[in-house]
Amino acid sequence: MRSRQRLLAAVMRLLLKCLRLGRRRRLGLLRQAGQLWHYGRLCLRSLLYNSFTNSDVVLDSLFEPVYWLVDHVTRWFGVVFVALVIGLTSSIVAIVYICLLPLILQTYTPAWICWHLTYGHWNLIMIVFHYYKAITTSPGHPPQAKNDVTGVSICRKCIAPKPARTHHCSICNRCVLKMDHHCPWLNNCVGHYNHRYFFSFCLFMTMGCIYCSISAWDMFRDAYAAIERMKLLEKDRLQVAANQTYYQTPPPTFSFRQRAFHKSVVYLWVLCSSVALALGALTLWHAALITRGETSIERHINKKERQRLQKKGKVFRNPYSYGSWDNWKVFLGVDVPRHWLTRVLLPSPHPPHGTGLSWELPPCVREQRVPLLAI
């Protein structure tokens, strides 16, 4: 009996000892798991830590797949956008020559006829010339030989020196001198060598659309009223025809040529007015950038730099701005007064000032530039 009690007591002591060891082991495993968790968090934070990280960087990282998709879609659809611009512009020109020009020649005075013929053809030539040059002219790229480039930084994608005002285009997959943006309507980057062509095309296209909208306003009202009459007469004709035989159906009031004429005039006015509003806003935006001596990319960079220096009590000065008037002279390539006629009001393939690799003082600017920082 005693031996049985001793054996039972020994078994109970062994069982309690095992339970005590299992509890310690579980606590040890939990402690190790907690240490591994904190160590993993520390490693992840050390890998992702960046003193410049903010909400904008996080959003850019999250939208990186979207940017990749947009870049590739824009690259492949650039030809479609160019064909669309050419097709829409050609349709407007065809309507003007087929529908509007005969009316102008029949109803306007000789002075107004000369004005429309002169201005209209001059504006068309400027649009076609600058659009062709904006598409076919390379924006400019840094040379491949690294020893020939005076770089202020290194491109993370090209792994090559990047001159001042140069940025990498993810669509073209190349660095572009004085890059403004990649324009899908040109299927080309807007940079140092074709920036003037791009802005001139936007300006003259806006002027042409405003000219067509104003000139065709009276015709548009008449054509719109005629289309409304067509709809009412067609409705009445169908109601009458429902109670008559085929041979008793009255003929249409408007011929196919009249219908096409009225609809073409409405199409011209709506398209030109819409383009004038949209492209006019874009032209004004770029005009403001040119006045400040900035590109679209530099505008965002300078804004952040201005805010950073403002916190330190300093004032940011754009080193590439020579004053509003001189900025326009440098941008348009106006060195002497006659260049306003030969290089601005007439088609001119003259190159811009400088090579885009370095930015010396242009000859048309007399005053020295202000320093970058001012207390």
pLDDT for the residue numbered 16: 61
Res. 17: pLDDT tops 70? no
- pLDDT exceeding 90 applies to what percent of the chain? 44
Residue 24 in any domain: the answer is: no
Residue 371: per-residue pLDDT: 46
Contact between residue 133 and residue 197 where contact means Cβ atoms under 8 Å apart: yes
pTM: predicted TM-score of the whole model, two decimal places: 0.77
Q: Residue 140's pLDDT is what?
A: 93
Res 374: pLDDT:
38
Task: Give the DSSP H/E element, type plus range, for residue 315.
Answer: strand 315-316
> What tokens were used for 263?
């609809």
Structural domain harbouring 155: 61-242+253-359
Q: Tell me the backbone φ, ψ of residue 182, rounded to 5 degrees.
A: -100, 120
Residues counted in the chain: 375
Under DSSP, is residue 206 helix (H, G, I), strand (E, B) or coil?
A: helix
Query: Positive or negative, the Cα torsion across 218, 220, 225, 229?
Result: positive
**Per-residue confidence at 248, pLDDT binned at 50, 70, 90?**
low
Q: Does any domain span residue 35?
A: no
List helix spans (H) across 216-323.
217-241, 256-292, 296-311
Q: Residue range 301-307: average pLDDT?
A: 88
| pLDDT tens readout for residues 77-86 | 888 999 999 9
User: Which two tokens mark 201?
Assistant: 């095309």
Domain-located, residue 224: yes
Q: How far apart are CA 310 and CA 316, in angstroms?
A: 8
pLDDT value for 35: 79
Given pLDDT bands bounded at 50, 70 and 90, which one contains residue 269? very high
Query: In the chain, how many domains are there?
Result: 1
Q: Which tens digit of pLDDT belongs to each residue from 319-346?
A: 899 989 999 999 999 999 999 999 999 9
Please check whether residue 9 lies inside any domain of the structure.
no
Residue 299, in any domain of the structure: yes
pLDDT at 257: 84
Distance of CA 301 to CAs 64, 255, 307, Å?
A: 20, 60, 10
Q: How many CB atoms lie within 10 A of CB 92?
A: 20
Within 13 Å, how many C-alpha atoms sit on residue 54's CB side? Answer: 2
Beta bridge partners of 161: 154
Q: Comparing 39-53, 167-181, 221-235, which segment has the lowest mean pLDDT? A: 39-53
- Is the pLDDT at 6 greater than 90? The verdict is no
pLDDT at residue 375 greater than cutoff 50: no
Model confidence at 97, pLDDT cuts 50, 70, 90, reads: very high
Averaged pLDDT of the chain: 83
Q: What is the tens place of the pLDDT at every residue in 144-167?
A: 766 666 667 788 888 888 888 999
40 found inside a domain: no
Whether 374 is in a domain gets the answer no
Determine, yes or no, domain membership for 123.
Answer: yes
Catalytic residue positions?
183
* pLDDT tens by residue, 26-52: 666 677 777 778 877 776 666 666 665
- pLDDT of res. 299: 92
Task: Give the number of other Cβ atoms within 10 Å of residue 91's Cβ.
Answer: 14
Q: Taking the CA of residue 251 as centre, how many other CA atoms within 13 Å lie in the half-sphere pointing to its CB?
A: 3
156-191: b (≥16 Cβ within 10 Å) or e: eebebbbbbbbbbbbbbebbbbbbbbbbbbbbbbbb
